[in-house]
Amino acid sequence: MIYNDISPRTQAHVDRRLLTRAVPNNILGQFGQVRTIPSKNTKTIQFRRYNKLAATTTPLAEGVTPTASTLTKTDVSSTLSQYGNYIWVTDIILDTHEDPVLRESIDVLGEQAGESYDVLRAGVLKAGTNVLYTNGTARSAVNSVVTAGLLRTAVRTLKRQEAKAITSIVKAGPNVTTSPIPPAYVAVCHADLQPDLEALATWVPAYKYASTQGLINGEAGSAGEIRFVFDNNLTPWADAGGAASTNVTISTSGTSSDVYPVLIFGRDAYGVVELSGKSAVSTYVNNPKPVDSDPLAQRGTVGWKGYHAAVILQDLWMLRIEAAAKG
């Protein structure tokens, strides 16, 4: 007998410790500015940056008042959208199933909420316009892997554009707090690129760091001034590159290389917005209860709902390398 797509096990021995689910870390929430909009306020937030003044190189003339400078600003707006999902649970499942289905449902939905936000952030951040290619001048030509030289070029580009190193990350927890880290640029990319990064002469795995203090959640290692974190929500553009056979690269079809984004961030490159605290997610548990549509109290639900947005604040302070991955 099947209970709402969950079947109770009645004969075979079952290890009561349920299998661990493979869920990616909520990586991209760590490196951006986090802003919270109070409830009963608005769905739109405006980030404001006052622009720097040009250097003054003309000496003051005696007794002459110089021309005043004008303060200018750049505004970046973002609007919250609502997301959510739920699972049906029946009275029979709650009364007879040997696994803690209600608790597991809450856990599964909580993990879905975190991953959903990470996928949404990845979609926004992959659209940045500051791009380097491992070869060629367009995505359609890419069929080679990341090199130490290209990473040095990326760092030089960010420094030339006055991108500051990241010195703190958003700490996981119910409140918005930060945790200090040693200054560095942070790169986030798919785990398919790990063998190519580990082959770099400049690669240092995280377990060989002189100190693990300030280690970033999900950090795998570093190359030069860039610390790397893997996030499989940064999916490649399938078959978007050059011939896969040239350098034997990963390809969805076997013909053209899949092209992977490597996002490298400086400080304050992007922002994430939530409505109220506690990661802007609310959990809802509705136990079966008698109503007109369910007079015998046979059905209940478990769900989550939240508001979220992500926005690039300064395109010049983040950079995307587009690379193939060795097959």
Q: Which residues contact 305 (CB under 8 A, 6 or more apart)?
A: 82, 83, 84, 281, 282, 284
11 pLDDT tier (thresholds 50, 70, 90): very low
* 322 token code pair: 């587009």
For the ranges 10-14, 116-120, 278-282, the maximum mean pLDDT occurs at: 116-120
pLDDT at 15 over 80: no
Range in 85-89, 90-94, 116-120, 201-205 the model is least confident about: 90-94
Residue 126: both structure tokens together: 């992959």
pLDDT on residue 4: 46
What DSSP character marks residue 161?
T
Nearest alpha-carbon partner for 133 in 237, 221, 225: 237
By DSSP bridging, strand 260-265 and strand 281-286 are unpaired
Indicate if the pLDDT at residue 19 is higher than 70: no
Q: Three-state DSSP class for 71?
A: coil
Question: How far is CA 294 from each of CA 289, 290, 298, 299, rounded to the nearest angstrom?
Answer: 8, 6, 7, 7
Tens of pLDDT, residue by residue over 63-89, are 999 999 999 988 888 899 999 999 888
* Top-confidence residue, 18 or 267: 267
pLDDT given for residue 198 in this prediction: 97
> Is 315 a residue whose pLDDT tops 50?
yes
What integer pLDDT is reported at residue 50 of this predicted model? 85
Window from 175-179, 181-185, 187-191, 307-311 with minimum mean pLDDT:
175-179
**Confidence (pTM):** 0.86
CA distance 169 to 181: 7
Can you give the pLDDT at residue 3? 44
Residue 116 DSSP symbol:
H
pLDDT of 184 above 60 = yes
What pLDDT score was predicted for residue 95? 67
Chain-centre distance for alpha carbon 286: 31
pLDDT at 21: 63
Residue with more model confidence, 125 or 212: 125
Average pLDDT over residues 230-237: 96
* Model pLDDT, residue 96: 62
